[in-house]
Amino acid sequence: MALELYRKKRNFSKTSEPSGEASSKPSGKQPIFIIQKHAASRLHFDFRLEMDGVLKSWAVPKGPSMDSAVKRLAILVEDHPLGYASFEGTIPQGEYGGGTVMLWDQGTFAFNEKDDFESGLLEFKLFGERLHGSFALIQKKGDRKTWWLVKKTDEYAQKNSDTTLEFMTSVVSGKKMEEIE
Ligand code: MN
C-alpha cells in the first residue's frame, strides 16, 4: 500500500530502479538516510529518511546546505522502497525521472525526539560520509508537500559553504555524473 504511488509512476520493464515492497522490519539497528544527486529534467538532490519500512523522500532543488542561515526548499515526493538506498544508474529518457542518479551521501540518522511525521517538524542528526550533525525538516503550515531542509547550528555548520560543489563524485563508486551515465 505504502509504495503504490511509487510503483504506479514507473514501468519496471524499462527502468532498472528497484520495484520494491515496503519492509516490515528496519534495515538495521539505526535507520538509514541517503542523498541522491539526480540529473532529471531539472537537476536536484533527493533526500531520503528511513521511516516505517520505507524511505520518506523529498526533492531538494538546490541540495543540502551546511550553512544554518540557509533554508532549502524540500518538496515531499512519493515514498521509495528501502532498496532504493543502493540505486545508482541512469533512468531512461521518457521514463518517470529520466536521467542519471548518483549516490551522493549515505549513512544513518537519529531523531532527536520520537519521530512524528504528522507534526510537520522532524529534527535529527545525520551520521553520513559527507554530511554530519543536526538538521531539521520543517513543513510549511497547511501545505502537505512544501517543506524546508535546514542545518541546525552545531560544530558541523559552515558559513557560506556550498557542500554540493565540494563533493562532485559518487560516495559509493567514486564516479562523476557523466561516468555513471
Ligand atoms: Mn529525483
Average per-residue pLDDT in the chain? 95
Q: If residue 163 lies in a helix (H) or strand (E), which one and from where to where?
A: helix 163-166
Of 117, 111, 102, give the one whose Cα is nearest residue 57: 117
Q: State the distance from the centre of ligand 1 to the C-alpha of 111, rounded, in angstroms.
A: 24
Q: State the distance from the centre of ligand 1 to the C-alpha of 46, rounded, in angstroms.
A: 5
Q: State the distance from the centre of ligand 1 to the C-alpha of 7, rounded, in angstroms.
A: 15
C-beta of residue 74 within 8 angstroms of C-beta of residue 151: no
* pTM (global) more than 0.85: yes
pLDDT at 103 over 90: yes
- The x, y and z cell numbers of residue 104, run together, are 551522493
What is the Cα–Cα distance from 169 to 177, expressed in whole angstroms? 7
Q: State the distance from the centre of ligand 1 to the C-alpha of 84, rounded, in angstroms.
A: 11
